[in-house]
Amino acid sequence: MKTLQNYFDAKNVSPDLQKLIFSLLWAGANFYELTLFHYDFQNFYADTTNKSGDRQLKIDVAANDVFVGLLKENDVSLIASEELAEPMKGKSGGKYAVAFDPLDGSSIVDADMSVGSIVGVYEGDSVIGRKGSEQVAALAFVYGPQFTFFITVGQGTLAGVYRPENYPDDIAEEKRHDQFYVSNENVTLTEDGKYFAPGNLRAAASESWYMKTLQEWIKAGSTLRYSGGMVPDIGHIFIKGGGIFLYPGTAQKPDGKLRLLYECAPFAFLVEQAGGKAITQKGDRILDITVEFPHQTTSIFLGSKNDVEKIIGKIKS
């Protein structure tokens, strides 16, 4: 397998963006190997809540600390984490603003289900007033049986895997990055998928279009693949080459619960670069939505192009 370094060299990715991406990967690998794998889930909840009102788990805080620690060593002007009430200043004059969810799926991690991290990278020193289309990179890490990752720098979406066992003890420090391999350098989604990941299923009770769509998928013999973890659920679509993930809103909460800045915009970039589509329940392109405030949420339908477009047709009919 080609290494991620080989991919970056072939795509002429700038050295400072490479350095930032490897730092993010090491934050994920360190969290995965040194914290998550040994975590004592009896000691589960922190006594704080994040801005979105979620009860914050100590594991969320631990993940956040690992990412913030490594980002502070980089050319990063602004650090915007789902676990921080407001974005925090990084290095003055730093080239990049980084928005991330350090641990997505923390309500299922105690059941040892796959979880992940999600990152969006912008040039400049702000994220408010920006659109997802301004991201220069997006990353998603899956902490599952293995540590796999999906990355785009705007030249397609790659899938990769972390292979520490291939790391000889005497490897030179600068060669450590060679433990990150590329398993597919051009993830491509078919226009019609065979899998569906129906988030916020409770909405089907009040949204007739949703109940009808579910029945049609079942009748068509599509396969349900939903875990409650956005990262593995969308990672499944990347690895299988097609499918649809949705997290709709309802009349009471039209913008659903998934965060635009930390979750939806990075995944929309990754999915579009894989030939898919990512829109809101109104049919607006996720990457065209302006971030008005850090914890803004949006409904989201993403994945195989025709699957996404068919749903919007149903909602509007």
d(CA 274, CA 256): 24
CB of 228 to ligand AFP, least distance (A): 5
- CA separation for the pair 224, 218 (Å, rounded): 8
Per the annotation, the verdict on 169 as an active-site residue is no
Say how far apart CA 54 and CA 67 lie, in whole Å. Answer: 20
How many whole angstroms separate alpha carbon 127 and alpha carbon 90? Answer: 13
- Residue number, 180 or 247, with CB nearest to ligand AFP: 247
Cβ closest to ligand AFP, residue 143 vs residue 247 = 247
- Least CB distance from residue 287 to ligand AFP, whole Å? 19
CA–CA separation, 57 and 37 (whole Å): 16
Q: Is the dihedral of CA 289, 234, 4, 74 positive or negative?
A: positive
Q: What separation in angstroms does the CA of 261 have from each of 161, 266, 292? A: 25, 7, 10
Q: Is 60 a catalytic residue?
A: yes
Residue 298, CB-side half-sphere exposure with 13 Å CA sphere: 30
**What whole-number distance in Å separates Cα of residue 299 and Cα of residue 264?**
9
171: tokens are 């490897």
What tokens were used for 119?
A: 């990152």
Give min distance, CB of 313 to ligand AFP, in A. Answer: 24
Q: Rule CB under 6 A: which of 225-264 touch ligand AFP? A: 228-230, 247, 258
Site for ligand AFP contains 56 (CB under 6 A): no
Residue of 20, 103, 189, 302 with catalytic role? 103
Task: Tell me the window of 87-95, 98-106, 215-223, 285-293 that interacts with ligand AFP (CB under 6 A).
Answer: 98-106
- Using the rule CB under 6 A, is 104 a contact of ligand AFP? yes
Q: How far is the CB of 176 from ligand AFP (least distance, A)?
A: 30
Query: Which range, of 62-70, 102-110, 158-166, 305-313, touches ligand AFP by CB under 6 A?
Result: 102-110
Check if 82 is active-site: yes
Cα torsion for 129, 133, 134, 136, to the nearest 10°?
140
Q: Does residue 106 touch ligand AFP according to CB under 6 A? A: yes
Count, residues near ligand AFP per rule CB under 6 A: 13
Phi-psi group of 281: left, alpha or beta (phi > 0 → left; psi -120 to 50 → alpha; rest → beta): alpha
Active-site option among 4, 24, 82, 125: 82
Give the residue with the Cβ less far from ligand AFP, 43 or 166: 43
Using CB under 6 A as the binding rule, whether residue 54 contacts ligand AFP is answered as yes
Helix residue ranges, H only, the chain: 4-10, 15-30, 58-71, 208-219, 230-240, 265-273, 305-316
- Concerning whether 78 is annotated as a catalytic residue, the answer is no
Annotated catalytic sites, by residue? 54, 60, 82-83, 101, 103-104, 263
Give residues in contact with ligand AFP (CB under 6 A).
54, 104-108, 199-200, 228-230, 247, 258
